[in-house]
Structure 1
Amino acid sequence: MKTIEELERFMTEPSEALLRDLGQTEGDIMILGVGGKMGPTLAKMAKRAVNQLGDDRKVIGVSRFSSVEKKEELERHGVETIACDLMDEASIDHLPFAANIIYMAGNKFGTTGNEPFTWAMNAYVPGRIADKFRDANIVAFSTGNVYPLTKVASNGCSEEHPVGPVGEYAQSCLGRERILEHFCHVNGTNMLLFRLNYAIDLRYGVLLEIAKQVYEGKPVDVTMGSVNVIWQGDANEYALRSLLHTDNPARVLNVTGPETLSVRWLAHQFAKEFGTTAIIASEEAEESLLNNAAKAHRLFGYPRVSAQDMIQMIAEWMKQGGKVSDKPTHFQEREGAF
C-alpha cells in the first residue's frame, strides 16, 4: 500500500462474516465519538457493509468535529454526521434515536493534570448516553487497562480476571464500565463492554512506535516486555459484529490479537526489515499489561491480518515515507500516568 486511500480501502473492506452478522441486525447504526483514531474507519466499514447488503438504514457519526475535513470526508463516504459535544446535556437530548449504538467517546491522553475532565468524560457522560439510548443495542469501547499487570507466563487476563486498574485514566475507564453496567441493569438495556488493546494502523500504534525507534537508531525500552496488538480493521469488524452479542447483564469481551508479542522480538524483526540493528534499552520486567481474547476469537475467528503482516506493512510504509500521526500510545507506561 502506497497511499492513505489504498490503506483505508483495505482496512474498511467488509468480510463475508461481517456481512452475514450485520445482516442479522436491524435499525440504524450510530457511532458516538466517531472523530477519534478508529472511528472514521469503523464508520466507513459499516457504511460499505450496509451498502453491500442493499440496506437503506443509516450509518451516523457523532463527534464535536473540531476537524471540518474529517466531517466532510465521512459524508463523502455516505456516513451521515452530527456535530455534538457529548459534555453538553442539551446536545445529547437532541440526538435522534438509533437502534444500534457503538460508543467510542472517552479521554486518555492529557489525563494527568486534568483528572476531573477525564472522570467526567469517561464515567459521567456514559451514564447520560446509556439513559438516552436505553432502548438501543449498545457496544461500548473500553480498554485492557482496567486489568492489572500480570506475568507473561499467565497468558494474560481473561474476562474473569479481577480488575485492578493502575492510575486515574484506567480507574476512570473502570468507572465508565460500572456506570454503564448500572444503567444496563436499571433500564434493561442489552450491552457489550469491548475491552480493547492495542489497535494497529500503519499511521500510529505500538508497532509503529517500535519501528520508528529502530529506524531512527534510537534505543527501544523493553521494560514493558510484552504486548498484545490487533489490526484496526479487524478490531472494527469485531466491534460491528459484537452488535449481535450484547446481553443483559452487560457482556464483557476482551479484544486483541492471539499472540503475546515480545517487544524485544518486535524490535529485532523491524531491524531485519530495515537492514539495521536494534538497540535494546533496559531489561524486561516480570509483568506486563496483557489481554487474553480467546473468547473473541471463538466468536469471530482469528484476525484476518497477522502480526507478521503488520510488521511487514509498517516497515514498508515507513521506508516509503508514508504519513504517520503523532499520537503515541504510551504503551510502556507502568504507573498509569497518561
Structure 2
Amino acid sequence: MFSSETELEDRLARPSPALVADLAEGAGDLVVLGAGGKMGPSLCRLARRGLDAAGRTGDRVYAVSRWSDEKAAAALAADGVEPVPFDLLGDHDLRELPDATDVVFMVGAKFGTSAAPYLAWVVNAVLPAAVARRYAGARIAAFSTGNVYPLVPVASGGCVEDDPTGPLGDYAMSCLGREQVFAHAAATRGTPVTVLRLNYAVDLRYGVLADVGQAVLAGTPIDVTTGHVNVVWQGYANEVALRSLRHASTGVFTLNLTGPETAPVRRLAARFGERLGRPVTITGTEAPAALLNDATRCHALFGYPDVPLGTLVDWQADWLAAGLPTSGKPTKFAVRDGRF
C-alpha cells in the first residue's frame, strides 16, 4: 500500500468530506500545541488541507513545538503550516504565542515518568493551567488517554465516558489532572473544552500493531498477559480531534477515541506470523481484565474509522516487510501497573 513515509503522510492528511463540511462552519486561526510529537505533524497537515478545501485559505495553522528536528518543521512549512519554535516548559510568556480561535492541545509526558513523576505532573497538569489561561477565549480540544480508566473485564466491552475513572500511576493520575484543569477553565472562564481519551493510535511507524509485528518479525516471544487492546487509525483520530472542536462546551465534552474492535493480541500475532512468514511464540495467559474503551459515542457522531483493523494489520505487515522506518518508541501497551 505504501512505499515511503511521504505516501503515508499524504494518506494521513487526506480530509474527508465530513471534516471539510465541519471546518466550513468555522472561522479563525488554529494553534496546535505539541505539534512536533508522533501525531502532531499529520494533524497539522490534515487541518491545513481541510481548511483549504473548506475555502478558509486565509485562516492559519500554527504548529507550536521546540522543533529540534528542523527538517520536520521545514516540511510542514512547505505544506502551508506555520511552525512556531517555542519551549512550552521554558520560562516564557505564553502571550508570545499566536492568538487563535481554536486550539488542539497535544502535549504530554508518559515514558520515563515512573523515574521522574514530577515531570508527568508539570507537563500533564501544570502546563495545561497556563495554556487554559492563555487561550481562555478559544475552543480547546485536549488529548487525554484511556489510562484514566481502570482495567476492566474484557467481556465488558470497555469503559464508557460516564464510567468512574480509576487512574493507576503518576502518568494516568496526572492526565486526569489535565482533564480537571481544563474543566476548571470551562467552569470558571467559560472556555469551551473537548477532552479526547485516546487508546491507541496507529500510523505504521509506531503503535501497538508495530510493536506486535516487529516482535513477530524478530522472533521475540509475545506475552499475551495483556491479551486485548483497542487501536485506531491515526488519520481518523486526528480528524475526530479537529471535528470535535464543534462539540466543545463549558460542560466539557468528553469522548473516548478508539476503534470499534476489542482486538485479541494472540490473533494479531498469528496474523502477523502469516503475513510475515514467521513462526510465532506465545507466552503467558490472557488476564481477564485490560485497558479498554468503548467508543460508541465517537462512532455515532463521527462515523466508524475509515481504515478497519484488518487493513491496518495488512498495511503494518507490508510496511515492516519492506523495511520502512519505525519510530523506535514502543507503546508499552502491556504495562499493567501504571509505571511508564
TM-score band by shorter chain is over 0.9
Segment drifting more, 162-171 vs 81-90: 81-90
d(CA) in 2 for partners of 1:10 and 1:175?
34
Q: Which residue of 2 aligns with 1:117?
A: 119
1:120-161 C-alpha deviation (Å, 9 max, x unpaired): 111001011011101001100000000000000011000011
Name which of 90, 93, 97 aligns with 2:92: 90
Q: Which residue of 2 aligns with 1:57?
A: 59
Q: Is the 8 A contact 2:24 2:55 kept in 1?
A: no
Q: Which residue of 2 aligns with 1:34?
A: 35
- Counterparts of 1:158-237 in structure 2, within 5 Å, are 158-237=160-239
d(CA) in 2 for partners of 1:217 and 1:117?
35
Structure 1 residue 269 corresponds to structure 2 residue 282 = no
d(CA) in 2 for partners of 1:242 and 1:305?
19
Secondary structure of 1:90 counterpart: coil
Tell me the TM-score normalised to structure 1 length.
Answer: 0.98
Tell me which amino acid in the other structure corresponds to 2:120.
Answer: T
The unaligned stretches of length 5 or more in structure 1 are none
Name which of 114, 133, 157 aligns with 1:155: 157
Secondary structure of 2:98 counterpart: coil
- Taking only the aligned residue pairs, the percentage that are identical comes to 45
Q: Which residue of 2 aligns with 1:17?
A: 18
Q: Which residue of 2 aligns with 1:48?
A: 49
Segment drifting more, 14-23 vs 268-277: 268-277
Q: Which residue of 2 aligns with 1:242?
A: 244
d(CA) in 2 for partners of 1:50 and 1:41?
14
Name which of 102, 114, 127 aligns with 2:129: 127
Secondary structure of 1:25 counterpart: coil
Q: Is the 8 A contact 2:223 2:284 kept in 1?
A: yes
1:81 Cα deviation from its structure 2 partner: 1.4
d(CA) in 2 for partners of 1:22 and 1:157?
30
1:272 Cα deviation from its structure 2 partner: 1.2
Tell me the TM-score normalised to structure 2 length.
Answer: 0.98
d(CA) in 1 for partners of 2:130 and 2:90?
10
Root-mean-square deviation (CA, aligned residues, Å) is 0.9
d(CA) in 1 for partners of 2:202 and 2:18?
21
1:89 Cα deviation from its structure 2 partner: 5.1
Segment drifting more, 163-172 vs 52-61: 52-61
d(CA) in 2 for partners of 1:54 and 1:193?
27
Tell me which amino acid in the other structure corresponds to 2:40.
Answer: G
Tell me which amino acid in the other structure corresponds to 1:233.
Answer: G
Q: Which residue of 1 aligns with 2:80?
A: 78
d(CA) in 2 for partners of 1:173 and 1:107?
9
How many residues of Structure 1 are paired with residues of Structure 2 in the alignment?
338
Q: Is the 8 A contact 1:25 1:243 kept in 2?
A: no
Segment drifting more, 84-93 vs 252-261: 84-93
1:253-310 C-alpha deviation (Å, 9 max, x unpaired): 0000000000011001111111232110110111000011000000000000000000
Tell me which amino acid in the other structure corresponds to 1:61.
Answer: A
Segment drifting more, 273-282 vs 286-295: 273-282
